[in-house]
Amino acid sequence: MTKYFVDKVIIITGASSGIGLAAARLFNSLGAKIVMAARSYEKLTALREEMSDKDKVLCVKTDVSVEEDCRNLIDKAVEKFGRIDILVNNAGISMRAMFLDLDLVVIKKLMDTNFWGTVYCTKYALPYLLKTKGSVVGVISTAGHIGLPGRTGYSASKFAIRGFLNTLRVEHRYDGLHVMVFAPGFTSSNIRNTALLADGSPQGMTPRNENKMMSAERVAQRMAFGIRFRKKDMILTPMGKMTKLVDFVLPRLVEWVEYQMMAKEPESPIRKKK
């Protein structure tokens, strides 16, 4: 594993926290050259100082919902390191509201960040990735396989990423490009703190027990494994794998279970019904 990532140039969006930050730290410790992208340049530079090999880390202020920012990210990476081996499309935001109550600007924000951010970064990185026969990773979730109530915009954006990357894989099946759709499941991070409510304001606190979730560090390790062995799809949690399997056979049961589960969240926007 260590030898595989030595001097690989890896771009990670949403690298200032959660899975993105854990991945940046892990790949840096494995000898890779890291390009950390996020909206807060100050936070990125502070985090860079904590890296085991900070000389191999480039920080680029990037709002992935802005196409020109994504183009600039790729340009800066190539200017600094001369190549791109791996692109991890990790930046994302979530939401928590019934669609009935939702301001449509919320879904637009989620699609702009989650879906279009993946499209923009992949578009400009693709020529370089084809040269290196590199990897494109899209971080989705179980919500990208099964629609989650109270998360319409989030699920829609993750479904869209999965469809986009699956198609990209087929288009380049003879070009040596590796495309991985990566679904961690519930992971301890700040994504629920920043999730948008019906009016577009941030939730501010998580409704779930973060201590019972998979750690971002563990997710990063599984991501590295998937990239190293060029996996096509990864669903990390047993619950996620079982949900997808059962949905194929008993979709109504899965819908009922999902509804009950999401309705049990503290201050859930979904009313629990029998």
Q: Which residues are catalytic?
A: 154
Q: What is the DSSP secondary structure assignment for residue 267, as one 8-state letter?
A: T
Inter-residue contact 223 to 23 (CB < 8 Å): yes
* Beta bridge pairs of residue 138: 89, 181
Inter-residue contact 96 to 151 (CB < 8 Å): yes
Inter-residue contact 109 to 156 (CB < 8 Å): no
> In this structure, what token pair is assigned to residue 155?
């699920």
Phi, psi of 183 (to 5 degrees): -115, 100
Q: Per DSSP, which regions of the chain are E strands?
A: 9-13, 33-38, 57-61, 86-89, 135-139, 178-183, 233-235
